[in-house]
Chains A and B, each alone.
Chain A
Amino acid sequence: MAGIPQTLAISGEFADWPLDQLTAVIKRAEAAGVETAVLPDTIPPAEGGAGWPDALILIGWLAASTGRIRFLGRVSSLGHQPYNLARRLASLDLISGGRAGWLMADEDFDAAFAAFSGKARLEGVDLADREKEFAAVVEGLWQSWDADALLLDKQAGRFLRPEAMHPLDHDGAHFSVRGPLNVMRSPRGRPDLLREADLGPVATAETPRTAFAILDGSAP
């Protein structure tokens, strides 16, 4: 009998994952002791077709009906700016009580190029270099605030300690970002940022049926 996986990756076609089924699978996974759920963020191919909804929105929504399981969005950086993505993930980490993270996706470049004004933004860009800098900016922005930044002193009119706010002042080959982030650090410090290689063994479910089979220990 297969054991309960540490990580369950949701996969397959979104059409096979009605939202109530998705929620049921995540709740069952949490109850079974799965530590991490990975959500896809697939955009349709350039010529059109089916994709997945925005993984980071799904995480905010799913976080509300769970309490222990960690969520990773398998998101490509290609359609985003580091300030925005850093903010969204930091917000999700606050919302979920420290259960949100970013799994940097192996991107479908042609689809991203077609969806995100690629000719103007991505043509001729060293993508590996861009992604490396993107991640560094995101992680830098997550250090914008010290843990003791908030004073909340109504009497004295002091909301926060100005010394605890740290602009990033990043000026690189691909991005220039002053900072600081306008989201306070979460109690645990920052969201996770992982690459596929960091994940360890993953059980992948193409449909709710296979997910339940995996969680029941009945999958091969």
Chain B
Amino acid sequence: MRQMKLGAFLMPTGHHIAGWRHPAAAADAGIDVQHMIGLARAAERGLFDLVFFEDAAGVREARAELAAQTSRSIGFEPVSLLAALAAHTSHVGLVATASTSYNEPFALARAFATLDLVSGGRAGWNLVTSASEIEAANFGAQGLRAHRDRYARAGEFADIVLGLWDPATRTGTLGHDGESFAVRQGLGIPASPQGRPVMVQAGSSDVGRDLAARTADVVFVATQTLSVAKEFYDDVKARAARAGRDPDHVKIMPGVSPVVADSRAEAQAKFDELQALIPDDVGLALLASYLATDALNGLPLDGPLPELKSTEGMQSRQALVVEQSRRDGLSIRQVAQHFAGARGHWRLVGTADDVADQLEEWFRGGAADGFNVMPAYFPGELDNFVDLVIPELQRRGLFRTAYEGSTLRRNLGLAA
């Protein structure tokens, strides 16, 4: 029977923007490697396929006053952190985000290939093109490149990395001389037991989908309704088939932000408690940053979201926010709070049964091969998922009861 793939999307303090303020959250998680090791081990205890870290090469918030109220400005560089986590785990996959805009492909391919070696074949790279001006300013760039240019560069970058990871070119040459990059020699280090690291992507724009369908093993996506998720799922699988790939070798895993408790009332109370901890200015800033707009400044928080012009930032995310707001007739504050909690991902509040019902519906309904789980705060909500939801999924035969193997590719059911 087909079973779900599960990622544990780790962050130091939690996915809820105010998660660090929860009494049970570890607020100093961004400097405490022991805490992060504990999270990776909890994920492995829950038999998650992988742990995942997002990344930005810069602080999340340039305005000091807003940075002061959130936990997101500091943390570990994820590939370095995963090197340490590799030594403290044995089966769980280790996936980190890194940018095609601010790295050289040889250096990035080599770092992940090394992580793959020390972890015995458990590494994965989540390709991002980077869309923030804050990051651009750390790399001497005069503003962001246009969306299409970023993806052209990312496509060339991905091809080089895949070429360098190919066991056949390791001690030979790649001989790439292209538009943005030139790489002559191979990496010169052996391949891991899984052959090459797993390629992950999350871009959901048209060019993002094409790149994912052509090169990714796993695709993360932010979708909030079954119908939108199914449209995305069918579309990416069809694009993969058109690119000459087996659609089953592209695993689509929507993000899900669960708040789980023994009863619905407890789960709702826990969620309400978190929402009440979001300062207005923080929620608004987060929304403005997701929309890549400054058009919200000075507008009444109880009024509706204004018309927004498309930007060079997060195109698909913007469409999602605007659509959501229109559908539900939300005020700016409501949209801000709504998105602050799950950051545009699918949110579930309820019992383990409720959460399992929803996940099962999407999984059986052809909208997902699995899910990237985004706990509201750490470590509590990850432990809750492991202790409450995983056993329920196992009881239903929807999730493994032991790891199939010790490489990430093997557990994901991907071709080596």
- Contacting pair B171 A49 (CB below 8 A): yes
Residue of A nearest to B18 (CB): A157
How many Å from the CB of B357 to the closest CB on chain A? 33
B183, closest chain A residue (CB): A115
Residues A117-163 near B (CB distance < 8 A) = 117-121, 145, 150, 152, 154, 157-163
- How far, in angstroms, from A45 to B188 measured CA to CA in the complex? 9
List B residues at the A interface (Cβ < 8 Å). 18, 20-23, 25, 27-28, 30-31, 33, 56-60, 64-65, 67-71, 73-77, 79-84, 86-88, 102-104, 106-107, 110-111, 113-115, 117-118, 134, 137-140, 171-173, 180-189, 277, 279
A178 at the interface (CB under 8 A from B): yes
A-B interface contact total, Cβ < 8 Å:
212
Interface string of A65-101 (1 = CB under 8 A from B): 1000000000000011101100110111011000000
Residue in chain A with minimal CB distance to B27? A152
Question: Does the CB pair A115–B84 fall under 8 Å?
Answer: no
Kindly state whether residue A54 has any CB partner on chain B within 8 Å: yes
**Inside 8 A of A19's CB, which chain B residues have their CB?**
117-118
Contacts A160-B67, A182-B74 given: A154-B20 contact, CB under 8 Å?
Answer: yes
Contact among B65, B76, B188 with A162 in the assembled complex (CB-CB below 8 Å): B65
Let me know if B185 and A111 touch, CB within 8 A. Answer: yes
Query: When the two chains form the complex, which single residue of A47, A163, A179 contacts B185, counting CB atoms closer than 8 Å?
Result: A47
CB-defined A-B contacts under 8 Å, sample of 13: A44-B171, A56-B83, A57-B114, A59-B83, A79-B104, A83-B139, A88-B80, A94-B33, A116-B104, A120-B182, A178-B134, A179-B138, A183-B74
A64 partner residues in chain B, CB cutoff 8 A = 84, 86-88
Contact B107 A160 (CB under 8 A): no
Q: Determine the residue in chain A with the shortest Cβ distance to B182.
A: A117
Closest partner residue, chain B, to A178 (CB atom): B137
Question: By the criterion CB–CB under 8 Å, are B188 and A49 in contact?
Answer: yes
Chain A residue with the shortest CB-CB distance to B142: A176
Residues in A whose Cβ lies below 8 Å from that of B70: 159
**In the assembled complex, A4 has its CB within 8 A of some CB on chain B:** no
The answer on a CB contact under 8 Å between A46 and B103 is no
Contact between A117 and B76, CB atoms less than 8 A apart? no
Output the least CB separation between A176 and chain B (Å): 4
- Whether A84 pairs with B103 at a CB distance below 8 angstroms is yes
Known contacts A57-B115, A158-B69: A175-B76 contact under CB 8 Å: no
Question: In the assembled complex, how far is the CB of residue A14 from the closest CB belonging to chain B, in whole angstroms?
Answer: 6
Chain B residues with CB under 8 Å of A83's CB are 57-58, 102, 138-139
Note all chain B residues with C-beta closer than 8 A to A157: 18, 21, 69, 277, 279
| Residue interface bits A164-185, CB-to-B below 8 A is 1, else 0 | 0100000000011111101110
Across the interface, B83 reaches (CB within 8 A) one of A61, A121, A154, namely A61
**A51 at interface, CB cutoff 8 A:** yes
Q: Which residues of B contact A59 (CB under 8 A)?
A: 83
Give the contacting residue for A14; candidates B75, B184, B189; CB below 8 A: B189
User: Are A53 and B87 in contact (CB-based, < 8 A)?
Assistant: no
20 A-B pairs besides A53-B110, A80-B104 with CB distance below 8 A are: A43-B188, A44-B185, A44-B186, A44-B187, A47-B185, A81-B102, A83-B57, A88-B80, A114-B183, A114-B185, A115-B184, A117-B182, A118-B182, A120-B182, A154-B27, A158-B68, A158-B69, A159-B68, A165-B59, A178-B137
By beta carbon, the residue of chain A nearest B79 is A57
- Which residues on B sit within 8 Å (CB–CB) of A9? none
How far, in whole Å, are A179 and B135 apart by their CA atoms in the complex?
Answer: 9
Determine the chain B residues whose CB is within 8 A of the CB of A186 once the complex forms: 31
**Minimum distance in angstroms from B118 CB to a CB of chain A:** 4
Is A87 touching B187 in the complex (CB atoms < 8 A)?
Answer: no
Assess whether B188 is in contact with A95, with CB atoms less than 8 Å apart. Answer: no
Q: Which residues of B contact A14 (CB under 8 A)?
A: 189
What 8 A-B pairs are tightest by C-beta distance, nearest first? A60-B83, A51-B188, A44-B188, A64-B87, A162-B64, A176-B140, A53-B114, A114-B184
Determine the distance from Cα of A152 to Cα of B21 in the docked complex, in whole angstroms. 8
Knowing A116-B106, A161-B68, the reply to whether A182 touches B185 (Cβ < 8 A) is: no
CA gap between A64 and B189 in the complex, in Å: 22
A28 to chain B, nearest CB (A): 17
Once A154-B27, A159-B69 are accepted as A-B contacts, the answer to whether A183 and B187 lie under 8 Å apart by CB is no
Chain B nearest CB, measured from A47 CB (Å) = 7
Binary contact readout A29-57 vs B (1 if CB under 8 angstroms, 0 otherwise): 00000000000000111111111111011
Chain A residues, CB < 8 A from B59: 165, 180, 182
Q: Judging by beta carbons under 8 Å apart, are A178 and B138 in contact?
A: yes
Q: Which of A2-34 contact B (CB under 8 A)?
A: 14, 19
B86–A61 CB distance below 8 A:
yes
Q: Inside 8 A of A163's CB, which chain B residues have their CB? A: 64
A175 to B28, CA, bound (A): 32
- Contacts A51-B189, A183-B76, A184-B74; A43 near B106 (Cβ below 8 A): yes
A171 and B186 CA atoms in complex are apart in Å by: 34
Judging by beta carbons under 8 Å apart, are A152 and B28 in contact? yes
**Are B83 and A57 closer than 8 Å at their CB atoms?**
yes
**Complex interface: chain B residues within 8 A of A211 (CB):** none
Least CB distance, A104 to chain B, in whole angstroms: 16
Residues of B within 8 Å of A50, CB to CB, are 171, 188-189
Structural contact, B68 and A160, CB atoms closer than 8 A:
yes
Beta-carbon contact of B27 and A159 below 8 Å: yes
Q: Which residue of B lies closest to A152 (CB)?
A: B27
B362 → A minimal CB distance (Å):
34
Inter-subunit contact B102/A45 (CB<8 Å): no
